[in-house]
Each structure stands twice: as C-alpha cells, then as structure tokens.
Amino acid sequence: MKVLKFDRKGMGKWLARLGEKGNVYVPASSKEGKTAIGWRKLESAEMPPVSPGVPARPVKNFLLPQPEVLFRFSTRPGKEDSFIPREPEPGQVDNIIFGVRPCDARSIMLNAMPYENDPYYQARMEHNIIIGLTCGEPCSTCFCSWTGGSPMGTDGCDLSVTELEGAFMARAITRRGEKLLEEAAGIAVEADHDAVEGLEKMSATAVAGAGSGTAPERALRERDLMELYNAPFWQDLAERCINCGACTFLCPTCYCFDIQDETLHGKGRRIRYQDSCMFPLFTLHASGHNPRGQKVQRVRNRFMHKLKYFPDRFGPLSCVGCGRCVRDCPVNIDIREVMGKLLAL
Amino acid sequence: MGTTSENKWEPKIVAFLCNWCSYAGADLAGVSRFQYPPNIRIIRLPCSGRVSANMILDALRSGADGVLVSGCHPGDCHYISGNLFARRRFALLNNLLEFVGIEPGRVNFSWVSASEGEQFAEVVREVTETVKKLGPSTRLVKNIG
Amino acid sequence: MSTANQKITEEIRAQAERLLSSGEVEAFLGYEKGSLPMSVRPFTARKPEDAGRLVWNSFCVLNLANYLPALLKSLEPPRRPGDPPPEGPLPRVAVVATGCWSRNIVVQIRENQVDRDRVTIVGVPSRGMVSAMKVRAAVNGREITAVTEEDHLLLVEGNGFRQEINRWDVVRDNCKTCRHPDPVIHDILIGKKAGQRQVQEPFAQVKDIESKDSARRWQWFAEAFESCIRCYACRNACPLCYCPTCFVDDSRPQWVGKSTDRTDTLLFHLLRAYHCAGRCTDCGSCESACPVGIPMRLLTKKLNMDVLEMYGSEAGMSLDEPLPLTTYDPSDPQGFVLTEREEKGGTR
C-alpha cells in the first residue's frame, strides 16, 4: 500500500488543490478559536489546527442535510404542472471533507445500513468524499473501541490521514481516495520505510488496546429483548432527562427523520429533516394517541434502538463511541453507564 | 415582494385591525372616500389583544414588507382592557424586534377609533411611506427556493 | 475541595435526610455527582439513605425548578379528567433553590403550576455558577480530565497540563450581573444571605448590542444564532416552558418550520424568548444547556431590561405581585404607537 507523507504546509496546498474537484471542508473552531464546532469551507491554502477529539457537530449533517429536499412542486391551481413532483436541483457538487475522525466516518457506514435503498442517502454517499484523520490522542469521553471501532479505524473513509511526528501520512482506502492522492504529485513524497512501520505500529497498538472480552453488541444481541426493555433502571434514568434533542442531533448515528410539505407563494417542496425520538411529536398519531407519550418511554427507546434493536437487525451497535452525547448532555446522561447496566442485567 | 409593473415595487403591508374600532375606522375611511394607498391587506380580529407575536412574525416570515397593528384607544376597548394588556406585549415585541435588527418602521402600531376615518387613512399613508423607504423586507423572510 | 461547598453539601444532606425520614416530603430535588469533570446530575432523592448522594458545587447550572411541576404531578394519585380532586393533603416535595431558582418557583406558583403548600424550599444563597464553556476556553480548548474547586480557585487538569483559574473569571455572565443571589422565598436557609448585590451595569451586554445600527444588529443576530441545531435544549432546560404543546409543534397554523432553515431558527429563538417576557429570572439554564454555545440569554435579558424600565418589575420577586404581562397600568408608556408619538401630541 502506498503511503504519502505531507508536511503541514504541503497538506494545506494539497487541500487547496482539491478545491478544483469539489468543495473542500476543513475543521472549524468557534469564534473564540477555542473549541471545534464542525466544518467550514477551506478558504486559503492553509491547514487549520485540529483539536483532539470530535467537533461539536457530527459529519452526518453532510449526508442527512437539514433539510433534504425530496422534490418540488407548484401549488398554482390550473397550471399544467401544478402539484406534479419535480426533481430538486440536479447536479450535486462533490464535497471533500477533511479531518473526519474514525468514529464519525464509521457512522456513515452504519447509517447506510437502514438507508440501503434510499436514493437520497446513496447519492450523498456518492458526493461526499471523506478524508479521515486518525486519533493520536483519544479523549476521556471517547469509547470507539468499545463499540467496534478504533482510533486508527478507516471504515467509511476514502482516505486516511495520520499525524505522525509533525508530518501527515496519507493512505488511500478507496479508488476515490487514490484519485485524490494523485493530486498530491509534487507536494507529498512517498513515505519511507520507518514512517510506514511507525504507522503500522500505531494501528497495531490501537487494535490491541481495543479491549478484550465479549464485544457488547454480541452480548446484547444474545439477550432477551423484553428483559432489557423491562429493566428497572429506565425510570431513574428518565427522571433527570429534560427531553431535549441535544443527544440525537449531535449523535452521528441518530438517523431518524420526519417529512413535511412546505408551501409558500405558489411554490412547494417536500423536505426530509432530522427528527428526534426525544420529542413527543415524533410518535404522535393523527388520532391523538401517542404510543410513546411518556418521557421514560422515549428515553428507553433511544437507548434500546442504539443498543438492541439496531444490533438485532443489522449486527453492530448504532453507536460509534464518539462521546458527544456524554460530553454535551445538559443533565449528564452517560450512554457508557447505560451500556454497562444493560450488560450487567 | 410584489412588483406591479416593470420597475415599480409596491410594498405589501398586512394590517391586523380590531373589529370594534380600527376596522370600523377603515370602513369609515372608505365610506367617506378618503384616499389611502392600496398597499394594505386587512385582517380583522376581535380585539388588538387577540394579536399575538406569532401572527406578526408569521406575516414577516411570509414576506410581508410591513405590518400594522391597530386597536381602540386605551380606555375605549370593547372588552374593557384588551388593548391595555396588548400594549405591554406590543411594546416589548417592538423593542425586541428592533434589538435583533428588524428595521424600525417594519412593524407598526396605532390606535384608531371607529370615528377616525381620516386618521386611519393618515396612518396607512404614513406606514406605506415608511415601508417604501425601507424597501422590500429581507430579514426574517422565509424562502423555500 | 471548597470549604464553602463542603459545608453546604453537608447541610443539604442533613436537611434531606431529616425531611425524607420524617415523611415531611416524598422527594428531595437536588444534585448528585456526575460522570465527567464539571458535571452534576439533577437528582431526586426519595429515601433517607439517598441523601448522602446529594452534592453542591459551582457547576449546578440547570435550574431545578424545571422539574418541579412534573414531579409534583407525578406524586398525585392518578385521576381521570372530571374526577374530583383527591381528599387530604397531597405529597410534598423539597427543592434546593438559589436566588433565581426561587424566583422561578414564585413565577410557577403565580401561574398555578406549583402549589406553595406542597413545596419545601431549601434556600441556598448563590455565589454564582461556573460556565464550563468558559473554563474550556480558558485552557484553550484542551481536554479537561479533572477540575478541583476551591473557594476562589479552580484547579484544572488535563493531559499534560495543570492550570489554576480564578473562579470569578469563569462565572457565568448571568451570575456576574445577578442582583438577587439570595432566595426570595424559602422554608429552610442554608448558609448566610449575601444581601442584594450592587451591579454597576447589569445590562451592559444588551446595551453593547443596542449601540449598533439596525443592519449590524441583524448581522449579529443572524450570525450568533446560525449554529443552532434546533435541539430545544434551551426550551427544555427552562422552568418557564411547561406548555403541553409548544408553539414549535403547532401545525395548524405552523408558526415555525422544521429543520435548520435560518428564518425558522431565528423565529424560534425570538418567540421562545418572547414567551419568557416578564417571567424570566435570568437563571442562565438555557445558555448552559446549549450544546453549541448560542447566546440566547441576551434576548431574554433585553426583555428583562425593558420590563424593568417600563413596568418597574423583576420576575418572581414577590408572591403578591402579578406578573407584568398579566396586568397593566393605564399610564403605561406608548411612545412606540404611531398615533401617540410626542410630535402628534401623544404622551409617552
């Protein structure tokens, strides 16, 4: 496998050059310049500093945009085309997203499972090229290894970049990634034997550190669903939950949505947007009945979906261990504890 | 939003009028044949106390270039105090909107009684002129592409 | 550890144990330790032996009054619509309350969400709570693994660094400008009252924005609220938000659209703030709960300023006073009304 070595300056140059192939996004920091918030378009040929850990917002917003326009229509009565669905603006531009942590990248693969036959998600997969950035310094809220990932993981990446002794080592994972590396001609050099060895060592350490024993998804798949559903701790857990949607909107693997028609001045569009199972409206029936009308039911559903229903149906956990929900929950509901409790039942 | 001819933009102004005073005032203006600009679109409500912030903001969201809310003079409310409660709410809303950068004059309030046809016409003239000066509304306008 | 917090923690535990074991209250609302540095969890103690889990420190940022209406309701015997109210006194709840939280409880009592006879308010004069976001910024966004609190210092530790931060420097803005740190109503008081604080310019942040022209203000508003993810943590962390159906969930008519359309996001924030007019105590729960750091508190602060200037009222200061928007004065200012402008002979 070919590994290219960039210095910091070269990395910036390469990213700027990729701008000809599509929109290049790089990690963005908050106005005060202190905390990572998400991604912004690359403006100059300079590599921005990347803080350890994941940015506030997940990469899913590129693949499940807020909102996704499914189709458009005219609401002018009597016109030939009124109320006939039209395809939304064609010609999506490619996004090249740099600095995606392995957990976030892996979420793209996990979300692709339920969206397997969804043309919109599949199109977004086509048009978003992911340049992963491995984690040299995992955070205390990170637990990707526990959920089946790895700080050196490449799932969902087209390219994987590792920071090693001040330099950046890039290796292609997919054909698309290889093509991007071809653009680095004259900027990067082929990594020498030592550097490649260093990289391999890092990967090996990460795999070894990934924990031993039963993988939680396997253990949870084997458990009786109703036993977990009726666990005694849900009530206690839900008591402090304020039922906001912070966890779901920040979660890279929360993929649930709602659909709505918006009409204004004779124009209409059908949009799909991220929704949250934490909101009572999520399950409210037209009859007025709400099967998850109580907070405890909603809190339980979120965890059961991630840790039981999803593994039962697709195999892996619907959690990549990025730790965003742990970090940003206003009342400190910690999914690691919930997993521990479920496993200990 | 609306353009009536090639280059001449005419503002659309949504007017929320209370049934007992301002709506009757508008009626009187019409019956008395006082001229006022045709830019307002009247929505009749039982009382200015019925006007909620949601409605005013919804008008702006839908692309109204201006909003006028008009009720009875304080003390003359058909429901005794509806406009007095509303006055506090309007004052706060007006300030809040200006605080976040909605241009002063985009949202307007007035008291017009049922006998003040000429005053109603005058208010509409004034509001239309102010909104014309401000130009088409762009802030808080929803656009679905 | 901070000796002041240690003392308050011990007293809260003692009171909780006493109230719960005597049966005076069915539940005691406080905080317990969290799983991360700078985090605590709202906690409802229901047994005397739970009292030992209660803690008090500078990171108690989520307003406990938020839980009160639902908790009281959950303790009532179930009844169907139309059933007569249960006989005899209903179970009671104790709640820890600082100045602003106690004012929120006053608002809830005035709005018939909380029955004064069913709550025991354990007042704790507040020293101001710390903003975790400010602490993170103070260490340049590096990861924090431990924070130890002393009376006037925070010792912040992370991977390969250790830093001392002056506590007051990272206290939340709303606490810095707070004039009423003492609980306005309480049944039990823990610690000593601090008295009314003198604040030079409590509305400096608001006035700073008001000094801009209209276009700049709009620019500020649109940019500052741009990163909102519409998770509604601000709404749900607010003790004033208890409507069974929020206006954002109304569909006929739909006041604000879904997803993160800019207009809809800004409208949501405007209307959310406006719903708090005359009721907000500037407790800062909304801003502390926000995962993306939106300064939505400035909107309510602006409303608070106007309510104070125009109607001379601060929310929740007294059980006997009506809330400013539930009353009126015939001579209320009306200079904003076109037909009442001074040049038209109107009175301001």
B98: domain CATH number is 3.40.50
d(CA C134, CA C310): 33
Shortest CA gap B105–chain A (Å): 24
Q: Would you give the distance in Å from CA C94 to the centre of its chain?
A: 18
Residue C211 CA: distances (Å) to CA of B57, C79, C146 = 24, 54, 40
User: A246 with A329: CB under 8 angstroms?
Assistant: yes
Nearest-by-CA chain C residue for A66: C259
- Domain contains B84: yes
Q: Would you give the distance in Å from CA A229 to the centre of its chain?
A: 26
pLDDT tens digits, one per residue of A9-19: 999 999 999 99
Provide mean pLDDT across the span C249-271: 93
Provide mean pLDDT across the span C103-129: 97
What's the token pair of residue C225?
Answer: 């609220």
The shortest CB-CB distance from C325 to any of B57, B88, B101 is to B88
User: What ipTM was predicted for this assembly?
Assistant: 0.94
pLDDT tens digits, one per residue of B13-60: 999 999 999 999 999 999 999 999 999 999 999 999 999 999 999 999
Provide mean pLDDT across the span A306-324: 96
* pTM tops 0.90, yes or no: yes
Query: In B, residues 113-142, which contact A (CB 8 Å cutoff)?
Result: 142
User: B68 with B23: CB under 8 angstroms?
Assistant: no
User: A20 with A213: CB under 8 angstroms?
Assistant: no
Strand partners, A128: A95
pLDDT tens digits, one per residue of B88-99: 999 999 999 999
Provide mean pLDDT across the span C265-292: 96
Query: In A, residues 151-190, which contact C (CB 8 Å cutoff)?
Result: none
- Domain contains B143: no
Strand partners, A160: A132, A171
Rounded percentage of chain B residues whose pLDDT exceeds 70: 95
pLDDT tens digits, one per residue of C215-258: 999 999 999 999 899 999 999 999 999 998 999 999 889 999 98
Domain that holds residue B35: 13-134
Shortest CA gap A57–chain C (Å): 8
Helix crossing, C214-224 with C262-275: angle to 10°? 100
pLDDT tens digits, one per residue of A29-78: 877 656 788 899 998 888 888 888 899 999 999 999 999 999 999 999 88
> What is the pLDDT at residue C141?
84
Burial class (CB in 10 A: 0-12, 13-18, 19+), A311: buried
> What is the pLDDT at residue A184?
92
Q: How many CB atoms lie within 10 A of CB B51?
A: 25
Chain B: list its partners (3+ Cβ pairs within 8 Å).
A, C
> What is the CB-side half-sphere exposure of residue C39 using CA atoms within 13 A?
18
* C336·B143 Cβ contact <8 A: no
* C227·A337 Cβ contact <8 A: no
Structural domain total, chain B = 1
Chain C: list its partners (3+ Cβ pairs within 8 Å).
A, B
Phi/psi for A97 (5° steps) reads -105, 115
- Domain contains B7: no
Q: Which residues contact A48 (CB under 8 A, 6 or more apart)?
A: A26, A27, A28, A29
- Amino acid type, B75: G
> What is the pLDDT at residue A345?
87
Q: Which residues contact B8 (CB under 8 A, 6 or more apart)?
A: none
Question: Chain C: which residues have CB within 8 Å of chain A?
Answer: 34-36, 39-44, 62, 66-67, 133, 136-137, 140-143, 145, 159, 227, 229-233, 235-237, 249, 257-261, 288-289, 291-293
For tokens 């609302």, name the residue. Answer: C29
For tokens 């977004």, name the residue. Answer: A124
Between chain B and chain C, the number of residue pairs with CB atoms below 8 A apart is: 123
Nearest-by-CA chain B residue for C338: B110
* A242·C36 Cβ contact <8 A: no
DSSP state of A306: I
Provide mean pLDDT across the span C278-301: 96
3-class secondary structure per residue, A114-131: CCCCCHHHHHHHHHEEEE
Burial class (CB in 10 A: 0-12, 13-18, 19+), C243: exposed
Helix ranges (H only) for chain B are 22-31, 53-61, 82-99, 117-134
Domain ranges of chain C: 1-76+91-196, 200-348
Shortest CA gap C151–chain B (Å): 38
For tokens 């990171």, name the residue. Answer: C59
- Domain contains B8: no
User: A292 with A243: CB under 8 angstroms?
Assistant: no
The residue count of chain A comes to 345
User: B100 with C217: CB under 8 angstroms?
Assistant: yes
Look at residue A305 and tell me whether its pLDDT is greater than 80: yes
Query: In A, residues 42-81, which contact B (CB 8 Å cutoff)?
Result: 69, 72
Domain ranges of chain A: 3-208, 216-344
- Domain contains B141: no
Residues of C in contact with B98 (CB under 8 A): 214, 217
Q: Does A327 touch chain C (CB under 8 A)?
A: yes
Residue C279 CA: distances (Å) to CA of C96, C108, C111, C275, C303 = 20, 9, 10, 8, 10
Q: How many CB atoms lie within 10 A of CB B22?
A: 31
User: What rounded mean pLDDT belongs to chain B?
Assistant: 94
- Domain contains B75: yes
Q: Does A56 touch chain C (CB under 8 A)?
A: yes
Pairing type for strands A159-164 and A167-172 reads antiparallel
Band of residue C158 on the pLDDT scale cut at 50, 70, 90: very high
d(CA B38, CA A300): 57
Q: What is the CA radius of gyration of chain C?
A: 22
> What is the pLDDT at residue C348?
42
- Domain contains B142: no
Q: Which residues contact C206 (CB under 8 A, 6 or more apart)?
A: B99, C298, C301, C302, C305
> What is the pLDDT at residue A88?
85
3-class secondary structure per residue, chain C: CCHHHHHHHHHHHHHHHHHHHCCCCCEEEEEEECCCCCCEEEEEECCHHHHHHEECCCCCCCCHHHHHHHHHHHCCCCCCCCCCCCCCCCCCEEEEECHHHHHHHHHHHHCCCCCHHHEEEEECCCCCCECHHHHHHHCCCCCEEEEEECCCEEEEEECCEEEEEEHHHHECHHHHCCCCCCCCCCCEECCCCCCCCCCCCCCHHHHHHHCCCHHHHHHHHHHHCCCCCCCCHHHHCCCCCCCCCCHHHCCCCCCCCCCCCHHHHHHHHHHHHHHCCCCCCCCCHHHHHCCCCCCCHHHHHHHHHHHHHHHCCCCCCCCCCCCHHHCCCCCCCCCCEHHHCHHHCCCC
d(CA C12, CA C3): 14
